[in-house]
C-alpha cells in the first residue's frame, strides 16, 4: 500500500484492488494459491486492515482514503501536500493497534541540520 501510494503521480485518484495488493505483498504468489479457504481468509483480513487504515488515515487527512467494498480502495491525492500527508499517515499506521502511532519526537540534534 505504501509503495503504491508513494509511486502514484500527484493530483490523481488512485484505485487499489485488494487482490492486487495481496499479490504484490506475496511477490505474485497470492493469485496462485490453491487453497480457496486460505485465500478467502486472507481477503477478509485485508479488508479489515484496509477498513482500519482508511478510518485512521482519514482522521489525519479527511476523505483521503475511501474504501469501496468489497474490493477497491480509492486514494485521493489532490496536491503534493496531501500526498505527503497521506504517505506520512500510512507510515505511522500500526497493524498491532490498528491505529496511527504518535508522531516521532524530534531527535536531540535535529535542529542543527536546519541551521
DSSP states along 59-70: HHSTTSEEEETT
Nearest one of 67, 55, 60 to 21, comparing CA atoms: 67
From first to last of its 115 residues, the chain has per-residue pLDDT tens of 888 898 887 777 889 999 999 999 999 999 898 899 999 999 999 999 999 999 999 999 999 999 888 889 999 988 889 999 999 999 999 988 888 888 777 666 655 555 5
Q: Is the peptide bond before 112 cis (omega within 30 degrees of 0)?
A: no
- Whether the CB-CB separation of 92 and 103 falls below 8 Å is answered with yes
**What pLDDT score does 108 carry?**
66
- Looking up cell 486492515, which residue turns up? 49
- Whether the CB-CB separation of 72 and 61 falls below 8 Å is answered with no
Amino acid at each position: 500500500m505504501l509503495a503504491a501510494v508513494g509511486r502514484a503521480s500527484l493530483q490523481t485518484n488512485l484505485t487499489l484492488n485488494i487482490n492486487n495488493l495481496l499479490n504484490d505483498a506475496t511477490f505474485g504468489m497470492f493469485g496462485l494459491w490453491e487453497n480457496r479457504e486460505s485465500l478467502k481468509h486472507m481477503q477478509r483480513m485485508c479488508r479489515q486492515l484496509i477498513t482500519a487504515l482508511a478510518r485512521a488515515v482519514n482522521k489525519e487527512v479527511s476523505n483521503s482514503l475511501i474504501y469501496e467494498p468489497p474490493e477497491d480502495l480509492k486514494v485521493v491525492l489532490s496536491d503534493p501536500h496531501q500526498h505527503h500527508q497521506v504517505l506520512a499517515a500510512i507510515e505511522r499506521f500500526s497493524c498491532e493497534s490498528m491505529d496511527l502511532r504518535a508522531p516521532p519526537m524530534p531527535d536531540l540534534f535535529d535542529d542543527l541540520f536546519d541551521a
